[in-house]
Amino acid sequence: MTVFQNIRKGLIPARLTVDEVYALTDSGVLGEGDRFELIDGEVMPMAAAKADWHSIMEGRLVRALAPLVPSEARFYPAPSITFAPETLLEPDLVVAPKTIRPRDLRGPDLLLVIEVADSSLPYDLRVKAPLYARYGVRDYWVVDAVRQTIRIHRVPESGSYADVEEYEAHDEVAPLLLPGITLRLDALD
């Protein structure tokens, strides 16, 4: 039974805290395959399956970035990040300091957050970008897997980003907090 079936049947509340999500997962009530995020306590469904373009781009980004991440950092595909007691998000890719355990990571700790988008593009730009800004993520990238562009969000201020730039596949981009790393979408293998 999925988290949403359990909510509809009244077996778990529709509003949860992050601690309750972890407790329900540890007890087996929530399954590892339940795909949702928790935004201000509300359980939000995520797509059950990722489209081909999403999976292809995510794989290319992992192959390109993983070997470049410095030894003092870790590269996490699809981690669960606690942004507040009632907000738990699962970005597609994250780079964070090695010294902080994944469950203890918070927005300002994250060195790079990447969402790969195809059908989720409006959600990643209109819902997740303000959330990441609100919680202090300093370098948020939305990679449009279909159009082959990267929208880079920086300078979080009052729940939005003051600096947003879009780059084409042939443009070289570099993470703000990871010196020496560059990539171009059209050069990804």
DSSP string, 4-71: HHHHHTTSS-SB--HHHHHHHHHTTSS-TT--EEEETTEEEE--SS--HHHHHHHHHHHHHHGGGS-T
Residue 137 has pLDDT above 80, yes or no: yes
Mean pLDDT across the chain: 89
49-71 tens-digit pLDDT: 566 888 999 999 999 999 999 99
Quick one: 73 and 92 in the same domain? yes
Quick one: 57 and 16 in the same domain? no
Quick one: 81 and 59 in the same domain? yes
Residue keyed to tokens 């003051």: 162
Give the dihedral of Cα atoms 13, 19, 24, 30; nearest 10 deg.
80
Quick one: 101 and 174 in the same domain? yes
Quick one: 85 and 144 in the same domain? yes
Quick one: 107 and 163 in the same domain? yes
Indicate which CATH number applies to the domain containing 120.
Answer: 3.90.1570.10
Quick one: 96 and 122 in the same domain? yes
Quick one: 152 and 65 in the same domain? yes
How far apart are the C-alpha atoms of 38 and 3, rounded to whole Å? 12
Quick one: 89 and 163 in the same domain? yes
Amino acid symbol at 161: Y
Quick one: 62 and 39 in the same domain? no
Quick one: 94 and 115 in the same domain? yes
Domain extent at residue 114: 52-187
The confidence band for 164, taking pLDDT boundaries of 50, 70 and 90, is very high
Q: State the total domains in the chain.
A: 2
**pLDDT at position 63, please?**
96
Mean of the pLDDT values across residues 159-182? 97
Quick one: 29 and 57 in the same domain? no
Mean of the pLDDT values across residues 35-44? 84
